[in-house]
Amino acid sequence: MPNPVSISRFRIVALALSMGSLAPVQAHDLYRGESKIVIRGREVRDTLTLSLLDFPGVDLNGDKIVSPQELGQSLERIYEILQQHYFLRSNGPPLRATRQRYEVFQDHVLSLELLYVFPQDVIALEVHSTLNQLLGPTYVHLVTVILNGKVQEGFSMRRIPMHFSLPRKHRAFRRPSASFGWASSTSHSVTIT
């Protein structure tokens, strides 16, 4: 009689292999964007990865490749769109948000590093993304936050802000529940443990 544990392991491995063969070959799916956010004191570095093909009017000739000329003509407009549809808060808005660097890979994927500087050390962060209003209802924005060496992840598919914070035992003070001005019932809350 076959061992039930071996059969279960076989089914799990077979399922994983079949799912892997169905996964898209591209490294960046067109239906999503990503943010990697690293918090150090008052500074927050946010590296956004987005498909430029999702933004109307960037790929002017429709060849699915964003040339340096097309990017040069569109970069300021893309940055303005991102400022309108994506931002960070920590007990209020940042003192400043600046572009640090950018690059394009796979002929259409933008990696854009932003630097946010807040008036105080960041112990809690809200990520607001309404990019799905521009890029379509199936757009998903994945967020990875590194705060005090701890990693948190979340995703946004709607206009609901995502909250990331230190666990209470690591805070120097207790943050009031209304400090961000949004009701907690309309937000995703993730705590680093």
The stretch 169-173 carries a mean pLDDT of 43
Structure tokens at 127: 């990520």
Which residues make Cβ contacts (< 8 Å) with residue 52, sequence separation at least 6? 58, 59, 66, 71, 74, 78, 104, 108, 109, 110
Query: How far apart, in whole angstroms, are the C-alpha atoms of residue 119 and residue 121?
Result: 7
Query: In terms of pLDDT, which residue wins out, 137 or 33?
Result: 33
The stretch 75-100 carries a mean pLDDT of 92
Give, for 127, the enclosing helix (H) or strand (E): strand 124-129
pLDDT single digits (tens) 20-68: 433 333 444 445 899 999 999 999 999 999 999 989 899 999 999 999 9
Query: In terms of pLDDT, which residue wins out, 191 or 26?
Result: 26
Of 184, 46, 165, nearest to 114 by C-alpha is: 46
Note the pLDDT of residue 155: 79
Predicted confidence band at 105 (pLDDT cuts at 50, 70, 90)? very high
Lowest mean pLDDT across 16-20, 89-93, 127-131:
16-20
The stretch 72-83 carries a mean pLDDT of 93
The stretch 167-175 carries a mean pLDDT of 44
Of 6, 33, 52, nearest to 155 by C-alpha is: 33
Q: Bridge partners of 125?
A: 164
Note the pLDDT of residue 169: 47
Query: In terms of pLDDT, which residue wins out, 191 or 77?
Result: 77
